[in-house]
Amino acid sequence: MRIATWNVNSITARLPRLLAWLESSGTDVLCVQETKCTAEQFPTEQLRELGYDSSVHATGRWNGVALLSRVGLEDVVHGLTGGPEYEGVQEPRAISATCGGARIWSVYVPNGREVAHDHYAYKLRWLEALRDAVAEDAAAARPFAVLGDFNIAPTDDDVWDLSFFEGSTHITEPERAALAALRETGLGDVVPRPLKYAHPFTYWDYRQLCFPKNRGMRIDLVYGNKPFADAVRDSYVDREERKGKGASDHAPVVVDLEL
């Protein structure tokens, strides 16, 4: 089974590329983030024509997550139980389902904006709620994984130049400690470093020629429990999908499993 995660940065803007990628990549389950649409605007019918069931948790404009599957989509849960609110709203940042024998979460962790901003404190509270919400699934005997845009680079090697990010979010100790706490539930990073190239970044800003210069970050992650990790046979970042006109600023991260 091939499982992937991809922050598409607007599913409406990226739909032609998304449909073409699903056809060419052979992906069975795709975790989508930043749909930037309402549930009514989600391309359910176009995906069904390709053989994918889908479920979306989205309210429009910003955020939004989804799961696409051609191996089953059962026991779907929208949202993060016990999750914090931001400005009086619990944002659509998490969705989970059972797909082909594995329990899968698609998550879009808050950005944090700036260290002194209220959004940063919200990000840390959200990660704490995520840890609590996945603990039972992580300890289960069946394969389980949390995939998505975590908006955190786990190590210094996961950014192109650490000095460039000094004093900013995505690399701070509290954020990385929150990731470590998530892993302590029984999860591990199943995409090894290095891959087939020195810097397997997953995100490159649109500005300042960041992608051609490979000034990126690795913030799209796949954290699985032991049954999931034991089933992994290969993984890669599809850098080709970041190229060309109309690309998302994130590349898909793909994991192959033998279940």
| Angle subtended at Cα 101 by Cα 18 and Cα 92, rounded to the nearest 5 degrees | 50
Give the pLDDT score at 195: 55
DSSP state string for 6-42: EE-S-HHHHHHHHHHHHHHH--SEEEEE---SBTTTS
Question: How far from chain centre, in Å, is Cα 180?
Answer: 17
Q: Give 90-112 pLDDT, tens digit per residue.
A: 999 999 999 999 999 999 999 99
Comparing CA positions, the residue from 119, 113, 129 lying closest to residue 182 is 129
Residues with Cβ < 8 Å from 173, sequence gap 6 or more? none
Give the pLDDT score at 214: 93
Residues with Cβ < 8 Å from 87, sequence gap 6 or more? none
For the chain, residues with pLDDT lower than 70 are 193-199
| DSSP single-letter state for residue 164 | G
Is the whole-model pTM more than 0.95? yes
**Alpha-carbon separation of residue 194 from 71, 134, 152, 247 (angstroms):** 30, 27, 18, 24
CATH fold for domain 2-257: Deoxyribonuclease I; Chain A (3.60.10)
What whole-number distance in Å separates Cα of residue 92 and Cα of residue 28? 23
Return the SS3 of 1.
coil
Q: Give 59-85 pLDDT, tens digit per residue.
A: 988 899 999 999 999 999 999 988 999
Number of H helices, E strands in the chain: 5, 14
What whole-number distance in Å separates Cα of residue 194 and Cα of residue 196? 7
